[in-house]
Structures are given as structure tokens and as C-alpha cells.
Amino acid sequence: MLYQTLKYFIVRTGVSLFLMATLGFFALYIAHEAVMPDASYDDSVLEWTIAGVCVFLGFFVYGLVGEQLLLNAIHRVKDPDLGKNEDEAIRQYERALSLTYSSYFLPRKSRRFRAELVHDYAEYLLAAGRMDPSATKVYLKAFLQNPRDSKFRAPLVAILGNWSDLGQSEIDLLLVILKAEDYRDPEIVGHLASVFLDKKQFTLKTQPLFLKALQNRGARAGQIVEFVLPLLLARERTDAFALNFYLEALPFRPPEEQTLREVLGRSFHGGQWRAADSALHERCGGIFADLAKDRQEAIARSEDEKRLRASRKFKLIAREDLKELEAVKGRMGIEPLQEPVFKSLFVWLRQGLGYALLAFGGAARSFASTGIGFKAASVGLAVLLVLGATRFKSLKEGLDSIFQKPPPVAEVPKAPPEPVEPINTRKHTVQVAAVISQGQADRIVKNLRSKGVEDLYVTTSKRSAGGNWYKIRAGNFASREEAQTFADQLMEKKIIKNYFVLTVAPK
């Protein structure tokens, strides 16, 4: 389960990273070199969009492809013809089962698909009469999924019943099979009872097997009585299993017969099985009635004294149990549960969080149970909404920068100009880039200087969306033609990709 979960996330993350490294960089190259080769702009929105598309393809589309492959494989093995191309049908079943163990699915979903496939596969093999080891393994998987389905127990019993050297796992499997059919197979019951008897193994799982073998009066029933009976009497057991075993052991006339009859008589006179198991109580009553009159009276006196001693009051509830008792009364509604205010608030918050998680889990399961088309449409709509919101924000920033009015300039009284000769004081420069951070501007200036461009400087201006523009400019020319010639030389050497010739006030 953990391994498949790790595969699910690791493989999908790897596919997403591979798409980013190939498709993502190719898309960025097309955008910068083919679509807008001479533009300088911030491509962070484009990068995040490409990353989101790659993650969508790597996680969601990858899962859709795997689910479609599995559905196609299931469709190919739907209602196969018996006796025709059995090897091909088995190969298709095996391929479909292998897909349920792949990284396409989480463990819970893969178990659901696998359960249906294993059941259909086992029924097909059973109808085809296959009893080879690979078919037996499929029968075992189908039986473990539903132990109550009797049709898969028969081939397992037929194979395991012929094995003389059963391992512990095979023995446990036979115990499960016997328990599922209420120990109705006397041969297997006797065989397993002999195995446990030879191993001198008396545990909770072997108890019902020994009792059933004793009831069946198998070949080794006497040995079972000799082995189990001393253990039960040494522990003074009077539970339902022990009493039934005592009753079944009486016909074998064990040395402890009189002790068994007294134990059964005490159980009858005590009346503890009158309501819990009336049939057992009546059988114990028959043994009690067969006892001698004096033994009946002695047992009655002993049980009455024991009941009297037990009725004397003693301190049952300890101090540390009182708090738990109060809590139980509150949970059962006998008394209202009094809680501190801060604890009640914590309980409310925890319950609210639990309801929210349940609602979210229900919504997630409902979405997971929908068809592939609905899932694809929902995710596509979500991606379009995110891209639309991002695009709307960028358009809004652009419109704000266009229509925003510049702040009014305060009027400053000027002295009348002195009469001078009219000369051309305007200067011209070449703007090669504009970025939104000082670090980017410094890197561009350093790069241009390394390529031999001199007379570089950076100017700043306010952005309408907040922050500053950092504009990189080169040169200070007296005429526009000189600035244009300088910019053309930089373009020919491929030092810059675009430029603007600007007229500025002289420094």
C-alpha cells in the first residue's frame, strides 16, 4: 500500500518535471525567439502558466490515460468465450491485473478494480477447469476477498487436502476455510486435528478444531481427550468450550470422569448458562440429575455458599474509575456532561473541523466517482479561470498606465528669460531595455559593458502598478541621426534586440 502510494506521487512528479524540462523550455524558446524575438518583457506569468500545464498533464492527464488503459483491458476480457483462445484471455487478465498495481492509481482505487478483476478471473479459470499453480493462486485471492463464496473453497481444499507437509500459512488457510464453512468437512478437521495433536499445540485457534474432531468421533478422538482434558482441568476452566468438551469426553470414560460430572453439575446449579446457552444448560442438567442424591446436595450447598460470599458488598469502583464513570454517564445520556467553557469551545472547533473534513472528503469522492469527461471539463474550466484572472490583471495594469493622469506640477514663478541666441540644446539617447528591479538593471549594464558598450546609465520612473521602472540607456548624441546610427551598429552586432531613440534634456 505504501509502496504504491509512493509510486503514485513519485512517478507523476517525475513526469511533470520531465514535461517542464522539455515541453516547457521549448514553449519558452518559441515565445522568445519565434513569436516575439525583439521584445523585452517579464515572462513570469508565462513561466507559471507553462508549469501549471505541465503539472496538469503529469498528474491529471497521466491518471486519465492509465484509467482508460485499464478500462480498455477490462473491456477486452468482458464475457470471454470458453474453449477459444484461453491463453490470450489469461494474458489479457494478467495485463489488466498488472495495471492495478501500477502508478496510475492510489491503493484504494486499485483495490476496487482488482477485486472485480480477481473475481471474474477466478470464475473464468474455474469454468475453464484450470487447476495449475497459477490458477490456484487466483482462487486463493478470490477466496480471501470473500471467504463466504463457497465455489472457490473447493479447489483450494482439493489441493491442500493432498499435502502431507503443510506449512503454517497453509494450515492457517485451512483453518479459515473450515471456519467459513463451520467445520463441516470431517476429513480436513481430522487431518488438521492430527497435525496439531502431533505438535502438542493447544491454542485459541486449535480449540474449536479439537472439539469438532471429538464430536465427529474421529480415529484419534481418544488421544485428543487424553491431551486436552488434563489441560482444561488444570486451569479449572468452566467456559462454554470447556463444558462442551467435558460433555463430549464423558463417553470415553476418562479417569477424571467423576470430576467432570461434578464440574458440569456445578455449572448447571449455578445457572450462568440458563440464558446465554440454554442447550448447554440442559445438557449439564442431565448430568446433574444422574449424580447421587448426596452429591447433588453437596454441590447445592457449595454453590449457595459461593453465591452468598459473592453477594457481600466490596468496594468495586476505585477512585480513579469515578471520573471515567462520570464521562460514560454523560456519553450515554444518563446525566448531562458538564465541561469547562474552554474545553467546550475546543470540542466545538474540533467537531466543526471534522464536519468540514467530512464534507471535503465527500466532495472529493463524488468528484472521483464522476466520468472522465466531467473531470476533464472541470479541470479545464479551472485552468481557464486562472489564466483569465491572470490576463485580466495584466490588462488592468496596462490600462491604468495608459489612462492614469500625471500628477499636477506646481507652478513655480520664473524670472523673465534673458535674451540669448537661439541654439539647439536637445540631446538624443538610445534606450535598450526597461526592467522592474535594480538587480536586473545592474545585470544588463554589466553584460553590455562586457560587450564593449560605453556611456551607459540607468534612469528611474514610477510605475502605475507600484514600484519603479529602471531604464537602461546608452550614449548622449547631438542629433537623432547619430543616435540611430549607434543603435543600428549594436543591432548588427546582436548586442541588443530592440531599442528606442529618445530626445532628452541635456545633462
Contact status, residue 438 vs residue 471, Cβ threshold 8 Å: no
The CB-side HSE value for 183 (13 A sphere, CA atoms) comes to 18
| pLDDT reported for residue 412 | 46
What is the torsional sign of CA 391, 397, 401, 405? Answer: positive
C-alpha cell at 70: 485499464
Grade residue 440 by pLDDT with cuts at 50, 70 and 90. Answer: confident
Condensed to tens digits (0 to 9), the pLDDT of residues 390-401 reads 666 655 665 555
| pLDDT reported for residue 265 | 87
Contact status, residue 56 vs residue 20, Cβ threshold 8 Å: no
Q: How far apart are CA 276 and CA 244, in angstroms?
A: 14
Name the average pLDDT for the chain: 80
Condensed to tens digits (0 to 9), the pLDDT of residues 399-408 reads 555 545 555 5
Residue 1 has pLDDT above 50, yes or no: yes
Grade residue 14 by pLDDT with cuts at 50, 70 and 90. Answer: very high
In the chain the domains, ranked by start, together with CATH numbers, are: 427-504 (3.30.70.1070)
Residue 29 has pLDDT above 90, yes or no: no
| pLDDT reported for residue 192 | 85
Residue 145 has pLDDT above 50, yes or no: yes
Q: Is 38 left (phi over 0), alpha (psi -120 to 50) or beta?
A: alpha
The distance of Cα 32 from the centroid of its chain, to the nearest Å, equals 42
Residue 84 has pLDDT above 60, yes or no: yes
Q: Indicate the range of 172-186, 239-253, 277-291, 302-316 predicted with least confidence.
A: 302-316
Across the range 27-37, mean pLDDT stands at 80
Across the range 255-270, mean pLDDT stands at 87
Condensed to tens digits (0 to 9), the pLDDT of residues 211-258 reads 999 988 888 889 999 999 999 999 888 899 999 999 999 988 888 888
Q: How far apart are CA 218 and CA 200, in angstroms?
A: 17
| pLDDT reported for residue 300 | 83
Q: Is 455 left (phi over 0), alpha (psi -120 to 50) or beta?
A: left
Condensed to tens digits (0 to 9), the pLDDT of residues 444-472 reads 888 888 888 888 888 888 887 778 888 88
The single residue listed with the C-alpha cell 468438551 is 245
Grade residue 311 by pLDDT with cuts at 50, 70 and 90. Answer: low
Does an H or E element contain 456, and which? strand 456-462
C-alpha cell at 335: 446525566
342 versus 51: the higher-pLDDT residue is 51
| pLDDT reported for residue 231 | 92
Cβ-based neighbours of 284, under 8 Å, separated by 6 or more: 243, 247, 264, 265, 267, 268, 273
Condensed to tens digits (0 to 9), the pLDDT of residues 99-139 reads 888 888 888 888 888 888 988 888 888 888 888 888 888 88
60 versus 82: the higher-pLDDT residue is 60
| pLDDT reported for residue 223 | 92
Residue 304 has pLDDT above 80, yes or no: no
Across the range 188-200, mean pLDDT stands at 86
What is the torsional sign of CA 83, 89, 93, 98? Answer: positive
